[in-house]
Structure formats: structure tokens, C-alpha cells
Amino acid sequence: METYLWITSVWGVYLTAIVFFGGMGWRIYEWSTTPKSAVRLGMFPKPKSGAGRFAKLLGDTFIAPQSAKIEPTMWTFAFAFHLAALGAFVGHGRLIKEFPVLPEMLGEAGMNTFAAWTGSIAGIVMLAGVLFWIARRTYGPFKNLSVPEDYLLLFLLLGVVVMGDHMRFVYGGTIHAGVYRDWFMSVLTFKPAFPSELLSSNVSVSLGTHMLFADLFLMYFPFSKLVHSIGAFSSNLVRSSE
Amino acid sequence: MDSQQLTTLTGVIDKKMNRQLKQYMDICARCAICKDACHQYVGTGDFKYLPARRAELIRQIYKKYFTKSGEFVPALYEARDPDDNLLDELYDSAYACTGCRRCMYYCPFSIDTAWILSVAKAILIAAGRGNEMLGQLADAAIFKGDNAEMFNDVMISGFEDIQEEVREITGNPNSRIPVNKEGADILYVALAGAHTIRPAAVIFEEAGENWTISMFEAANYGFFYGDTDKARLITKRYIDEAKRLGVKEIVVPECGHAYRVAEMFYEAWSKEPMPFKISHILEKVDEYIKSGRITVEKGLIEGKVTYHDPCQIGRNGGIFEQPRDIVKAVTDDFVDLIPNRQEQWCCGGGGGIVAMDEFKETRLASGSKKVEQLRASGASVLACPCENCRLQIEELNEMHGLGLQVWQVIDLVVAAMPLKGKKPVHV
Ligand code: HEM
Ligand code: SF4
Ligand code: SF4
């Protein structure tokens, strides 16, 4: 079991970090060094003031109100998923440092309960989002439009979410953030080691598998359509400024 | 497929590549949110008309020849060569697209499918598969530009005939259609039909405008064909004329794409700044009414009036309110279609599709949403700029027995002007 953890949760993390940041950097480099269209591609109406245009860009990108209007169901699942993913991302910050303020307000046990609730909600919402997307891609025009990339991403994402949820719902009561933090900080400080609580429990299988999927997902990320996460801002400019 | 052809076709993508196109290729989530935005997909249910599918054909080539991941694992993206199968489907999806950009409006990333399809058309042309009809119309327009003297007499005698009609309408024997007038403020570039000149001339003359008529048409089949060089040459005809006459402003007719070509595209095509102000005729007419340069009366137009936003001047051109203000100046009984303005349904007649018989069935089926909207409005008069929109809507009108009168906006204006001459007949 220790070998599995070393591969997925130590060396895998390093490799993923290199591929992910290198890939995203390359992607941004490619985009920014390709000249913009000489033709004006703008769409109307546009706000008159600079502030209005900036606000519109943020609104278009984070809320996509037009998409909400034409496909409310899809939009609801997508919005909930992205929000939950953001929540999960922030929540993972506890791996590095305990949040400020909150633990003082809630106490240590209270903080763990709070994290359990928010983490569980985010975990369930993400699972629902992924299952909805998978289901949607099994029929009609959605199926015809899908390519293997779409299923691969959703499969990897499902793995990440299911194993994350597994750790939360099965081991959430016994293993808390502090234990994972010891492991994660050891990786970040290049002195990788696993705390004994992890090695002595079956949670190591879940963690290893969560990390396996996360590594693969994040390594593929920069080479997939998920670069929409950074590209959406500049592609949406046509609505507000260009 | 043979490597010469492959190099040519991928070379087209390379030449057309820019930041937006690259991002469109990289970021589409294939979420299909654009599906129900497209009147052609909604009207026919045919998968090849789903906007993201149309773009996907170009993406398949892009992935294989422009990305490492697609080169190594093409199966992951269904990446493939631009072979005959692909080009066959591409032909339909590219030339049928009306360029309305309604899909772009609803896409969470604003992916401009119509722009991607302009690259598709360039690929088709390079493969010798461009639409023949559009190509011929474009060449004819360029021929006219190169041999202008040949057409001079015919054009001038045509304008004289129209001038007579204008005088009958205004009741003023001094009303004119000024030809080749140096030092005019405005060059009006009409379409080929007299109906685009007559009411405009009445309005310019009554407004006391210092204008002159162009020897060329604003329609641009080079743009529809997908050849930017041809499109540029066709536009250049009247840009050069405007320079020669020393006008200050070019006014384009109600036609939708003519406005976008002159206002949005020509600078980039010609790589030089546009030396003139470009106005749409309805912007001018709105100004004339608001400043009192022409007078219109309410009550002369009978029935409930509604308005259709042509995609190229609305969502893609930013002219939403001026035409509405004009219509509201001639009637109290105005109702908007739902949805309207930037969300307006494309009528299905844009992008040159009315000139291509092979798409007739698709075109008429794609009008289903427009028909629903028109029915629901309860209007009996439709004010509709854009020649292509009118051709399409008149055909839908007949086919579905809508009983609508379809008017150019400038015809409505002339009908509402208290003139001394005889009322024009509505065509
Ligand atoms: C900022 C604006 C963003 C918008 C408008 C947006 C929009 C979308 C849309 C429309 C989908 C389509 C879902 C589908 O049918 O598969 C999607 C999927 C997804 N997005 Fe985003 N997204 C944004 C940012 C992000 C960010 C920052 C991430 C970072 C993790 C992200 C990760 C994902 C993932 C993992 C999927 C599922 C992919 C799949 O279906 O295979 N998105 N997003
Ligand atoms: S809505 Fe946009 S991102 Fe979604 S499939 Fe259509 S083009 Fe792609
Ligand atoms: S531009 Fe209009 S016709 Fe073309 S794919 Fe998009 S919605 Fe359909």
C-alpha cells in the first residue's frame, strides 16, 4: 500500500504539478502570441462605460445569463457544479493551512463539523453534476456531439469526486484535515512522508485512488477543452469590448 | 488523401489562424447549449446543422494538424483528415449557415460559429468546392467594377427613370437623383432594385440632403461566398468612388450584411483606415425625423405593425432602436416580436442562402420560429429592413398564409410622409 501511495500521492503530485503548470503556461503562451483577429467580431448591445463593460465581462463569464435563458436545466447543473468545485478548491486549502478566524469562532470540533457539512454538500453537488453530464451524453444530439475526450474527462472527474466523497463519508468521522495536512505539507516541502494514521487505515486506499484520478485529470487538463477555465474570459470579450 | 491537397487545406487554416479562432478550437465544451439557438437546427432537427457540430468538423482537422495531443491520440478527439466525407458535410453546414450568430449569443464562451464557418468556406473554395452560384455572382460584381464605363449609360438611364417616379411621388419637378456629383456629402450605395433607390431618394430630397447615388451595389456575394479577397474588391468599388467624389459619408441601404461589411470588415480586409463615416440608411432617416428635416404623420399606415431585427444590423451591427423609433413615429399601433433585439430569431434568409436553390427546403423549414413569432404578435404589417429577410419572410408569409404586408422601413416612411404627389404603391 505504501508504494501505491508513493506513486500516486508523492511522485504523481510532482509530475502532475510539472505537467499542469507547464501545460497551462504553454497554452497561455500560445494564445497570447497568436495575433488577434483583424476583423471586428463584436456583438451588441455593449455597455458604454469602461466599468460597465468590465462588469459585463465578469457577468458573462461567471454567470452566463444568456445560457441560463436558453438551457435552464443544463445551466443549473453546470452552475452548481462549478460553484461546488470552487468550494472544494477553497476547502482543499485546509491541506496547507488551517483557515483563519473560523476555527476560533467554531472551536476545533466545530470546525471539523463545519468542514464536514460544506465538504459533503460540495461533494454531493459535484457528483450530481458529473452524473447529470454523463447521463446527458448518452442520448440524442448530445451523444452525437460527444467525442472520447468528453467521456474521458467525465470518467476521471467521476473518479476524483467518488473517491473524495468516499474519504469524506466513510472516513470523515475519524480522519480529519490535520492528518492529510501532514502528508501534503511534507510533499510541498520536498520531505515526503506519510503520517502513521494514514498508513494504518484503509483510508490510504481511498486517498491513493483519489490522487490517482486527480493526477490524471489535472495532467490532461491543459490539453483538453477544460482550458475554457482560462479562455472564457478573453473569448467573452466580444460581448463587452471588441 | 493526397498530400498536396492536404497541405493546401491545412494551409488555409494556418493562414486564417488568429487568437479567437484558436480559442474557439480549444475551448468548446461540446455542451450543446447552442443547439436550440439555431433556427436551422430547430427547424429541421438535422444534426449537421447543430452549431457546435458544424464547428466540430473544422476542429477535427485542427486537432490532427495543429495540436500535439491530437496528433498523438487523434481518436480522443475524433481528429481526421479533410477528406471527401468531411468536405461533403462541411459544404452543407457552412453554406447553409445564415451567419446570424444567434448560437454565439447563447454560448457560455461566445464561440463565433459563423466565423469558424468562414474558415470552412475558405477551405471549401481551396478544395474547388465553393458554392458556384455565390462565386458567379461575386465575379459578376467584380467584373462590373473593372468595366464600369460599360455599364455607365444603362445605369444613368435607369436612374433617370427612377427620378421620374420620385418626382411623381414628391410632386416636386425639381426632385433629383444626383449622379456622379462631386462634393456631395453623402454617397448612397443602394441595391440593384429600383425599390431600394426610389424611397431613399424621396427621403433624401425632402430632407434637403446633399447626396449622390453610387454606380455600384452594396450587396456583397464575395462575403457570402467566403472569399475575403473578392469581398474586398466588391466593396472597394464604392470606396474608390466615394474617394473620387470626395464625399464625407457613405450610406448603405437597409440590407443587413452591407452594413456589417462596410462598418466592421472592410478596414481589416483592406488594411487601411476607413476614410468615411459609414451609416445605415435607417440611422439617417431616424435623424431626419427627430431633427424635423422630414415630417411623418401617424394614421396613414393601417393595422398593427411589428418589426423584425435583421441579425446583421441588430445583434451583429448594434442598430436596435433607430428602426423602432422610426416605426413608432409612423404608427401608434406597434408591437414587438418576442423575443426581440439581440435575442431575435433569424428569419432563415441570410448569408446568401436565398440565392442557393439547393438549400430551399432547409431554408423554408428553418423559418418555423419566425412564423410562430409573427403569428403570436397579431400584427398585420411587418416592417422589415434587409432584402434577404424580406425575400424569406414573404415566402413564409405565402406558404403559411400569414396574411402579412411586408414593408421596407423606408417605404413605410414615404407612405407616412405628407407629400404633394401621388402615393407610392406598396410592392
Ligand atoms: C469561468 C467560466 C466558466 C464557464 C462559463 C464554464 C462553463 C462550462 C460549461 C458550459 C461546461 C459544459 C459541461 C458539459 O456539457 O460537459 C463546463 C464543464 C466543465 N468545466 Fe467549466 N466553466 C468555467 C470555468 C471552469 C473552471 C475555472 C474550471 C476549473 C476546474 C472548470 C471545470 C470544468 C469541468 C471539470 C467541466 C466538466 C467537463 C466535461 O463535461 O467533461 N470550468 N464548464
Ligand atoms: S454552446 Fe458554445 S461551448 Fe457549448 S457546444 Fe455550443 S459552441 Fe461549444
Ligand atoms: S450563425 Fe446562425 S445559422 Fe449559423 S450555426 Fe449559428 S445559429 Fe445556426
Q: Report yes or no for ipTM above 0.85.
A: yes
Whether CATH 3.40.50 fits B134-290: yes
Distance from CA of A66 to the nearest CA of B (A): 5
What digits encode the pLDDT tens for the residues A140-176?
A: 999 999 999 999 999 999 999 999 999 999 988 888 8
Angle at B216 between CA B214 and CA B221, to 5 degrees: 145
| B37 CA closest ligand 2 atom index | 1
The percentage of residues in chain B with a pLDDT greater than 90, rounded to a whole number, is 97
Tell me, yes or no, if the two domains B3-130 and B134-290 fold the same way. no
CATH of B3-130, one of 2.60.40, 1.10.1060, 1.10.287, 3.40.50: 1.10.1060
Instruction: Tell me: cis bond preceding A195? Omega within 30 of 0 counts.
Output: no
Looking at chain A, list the stretches that DSSP marks H as alpha helix, in order from N- to C-terminal side. 2-6, 12-33, 50-62, 65-70, 72-91, 102-136, 140-145, 148-171, 177-188, 196-199, 203-220, 228-235, 237-240
pLDDT at A101: 81
Distance from CA of A79 to the nearest CA of B (A): 11
Considering every ligand atom shown, identify the ligand nearest to the alpha carbon of residue A231 and give its number.
1
What digits encode the pLDDT tens for the residues B228-272?
A: 999 999 999 999 999 999 999 999 999 999 999 999 999 999 999
Q: Which of B277, B224, B282 is nearest to B253 (CA)?
A: B282
The C-alpha cell 467573452 sits at A236
pLDDT at B426: 65
What digits encode the pLDDT tens for the residues B304-317?
A: 999 999 999 999 99
pLDDT at B427: 54
The partner residue sitting opposite B108, judged by closest CB among A34, A67, A223, is: A67
Q: Determine which of A58, A70, A133 to mutate to test the interface with B (most B C-beta atoms within 10 Å).
A: A70
- DSSP assignments along B289-345, one per residue: HHTTSS---TTSS-S-EEE---TTTTTTT---HHHHHHHHHH-S-B---SS-GGGPP
- Domain map (residue ranges) of chain A: 2-36+43-240
**Considering Cα of B366, then B367, then B373, then B375, what sign does the dihedral take?**
negative
**Considering Cα of A30, then A32, then A35, then A40, what sign does the dihedral take?**
positive
The A residues from 25 to 84 touching B (CB cutoff 8 Å) are 27, 30-32, 34-46, 60, 64, 66-67, 69-71, 74-75, 78
Within 6 A (CB) of ligand 3 lie B 37-38, 40, 51, 54, 97-103, 113-114, 346
> Which amino acid residue places its CA nearest to atom 8 of ligand 2?
B28
For residues A41-45, average pLDDT: 93
**Residue B93 clears pLDDT 80, i.e. is over it:** yes
Taking residue B128's Cβ as centre, other Cβ atoms within 10 Å add up to 9
| B350 CA closest ligand 3 atom index | 3
- Domain map (residue ranges) of chain B: 3-130, 134-290, 296-415
B78 phi, psi to nearest 5 deg: 50, 35
Contact call for residues A203 and A173 (beta carbons, < 8 A): no
Determine the CATH number of domain B296-415: 3.40.50
The B residues from 177 to 236 touching A (CB cutoff 8 Å) are none
Contact call for residues B61 and B47 (beta carbons, < 8 A): no
Determine contact: B270 vs chain A, CB below 8 A: no
Q: Which of B251, B219, B234 is nearest to B391 (CA)?
A: B219
Contact call for residues B226 and B352 (beta carbons, < 8 A): no
pLDDT at A115: 86
Contact call for residues B273 and B302 (beta carbons, < 8 A): no
Q: SS3 of A179, please?
A: helix
Report d(CA A41, CA A35) in Å as an integer. Answer: 14
Superfamily of domain A2-36+43-240: Transmembrane di-heme cytochromes, Chain C (1.20.950.20)
- DSSP assignments along B251-299, one per residue: EE-S-HHHHHIIIIIHHHHHTS---SEEEEHHHHHHHHHHTTSS---TT
Q: Which amino acid is at B110?
A: S
